[in-house]
Amino acid sequence: MKVGVSNVGWPLINSGEGFYVYGVARANEAPAPQVQGIHQGPVSFIESSGLRAVVSRVPLSELVGEALAEQVRDSGWLEEKVGRHHAVVKAVMNMQAILPFKFGVVFSSQVRVVEMLASKQTGFLSCLRMLEGKEEYGVEICCDPRIVKQHILDNDQSLALQRRRLEESPGKAYLLRRRLEVSLSDKVKTEARNWVNQALERLQGYVSSANSDVASSASVRGSLLEGRSYLVEQGKKGDFFAQLRDLQGDLEEKGLSIEVTGPWPPYSFASLADEGAV
């Protein structure tokens, strides 16, 4: 397991306090959220360049090397920290648009945070403008292969023909049954994919991004065919959900289901054009 803190372009940091950064928002009157930070202490803002970084203090010594690795191995450390990161972002989101950072960003001093705000000001502001008044929703399309199979058997003409032949020629039963099984399993795959594509087409009017492989290769709810995140304007939320309800109705009898999660902070759409540069 690889766990650790990498120090980037600054004297080695292994003592004292640093600032964990949850995200960036526009500097305004909204107060700091009353939630616990990633390391117990309160959440506050560091403001500069018309922006505010949402931060809390963290002891750098606890984030270094083997001490951290031990914590992660022995307990739900990561889940707790991820949960707190999310709780802070969500609390800010309830008051104003926020650009959530990926988990794990720590600065060694207030000055360094201010420098970061200044150097990325243009990118932050334009991304915040893009996200203002919008919410992220997760949409997952799952399938129940049994129902999909039955639906295809009931509706596909060429399979019905193969089935009749099977009943009429018991002598060739093995071969015909084998052939029927192969055609059926091919049909299940291609048809289910077609239905998903048709569903996605009907949501084309909304900005979307594919969820990462972690989520799509591992679903709690049966066989996941598609996982996407959608960025939805407040004013179009009603339409979006109506559209999803329609889709749900159409897909249900075919053995597909739609799961929606959210509203999420716009994690999937928070990115800067010059991402990766210091």
Partner 1 sequence: MPEDGLDLTLLELLDRVLDKGVVIRGDAVISVADVDLLYIGLQVLLGSVDKVAEFRLPDGARVAW
For partner 1, the closer of residues 192 and 244 by Cβ is: 244
For partner 1, the closer of residues 23 and 33 by Cβ is: 23
93, 108, 111, 230, 237 from 241: Cα distances, Å: 21, 44, 44, 12, 6
Q: Which residues bind partner 1 (CB under 8 A)?
A: 1-10, 13, 18, 21, 23-24, 60, 63, 68, 72, 76, 78-79, 82-83, 85-86, 90, 99-108, 112, 116, 120, 127, 138, 211-215, 217-220, 241, 244-245, 248, 258, 260-264, 267-268, 270-272, 275-276, 278
For partner 1, the closer of residues 235 and 276 by Cβ is: 276
For partner 1, the closer of residues 71 and 162 by Cβ is: 71
Residue among 205, 183, 204, 195 nearest 142 (CA): 195
Residue among 217, 219, 201, 208 nearest 259 (CA): 219
CB of 129 to partner 1, least distance (A): 15
Query: How many angstroms separate the CA atoms of 115 and 276, rounded?
Result: 16
| DSSP symbols for 22-77 | EEEEE-SSPPPP-SB-TTSSBPEEEEETTEEEEEEEEEGGGGSHHHHHHHHHHSSH
CB of 178 to partner 1, least distance (A): 29
Q: Is 222 left (phi over 0), alpha (psi -120 to 50) or beta?
A: left
For partner 1, the closer of residues 162 and 257 by Cβ is: 257
CB of 130 to partner 1, least distance (A): 13
CB of 230 to partner 1, least distance (A): 13
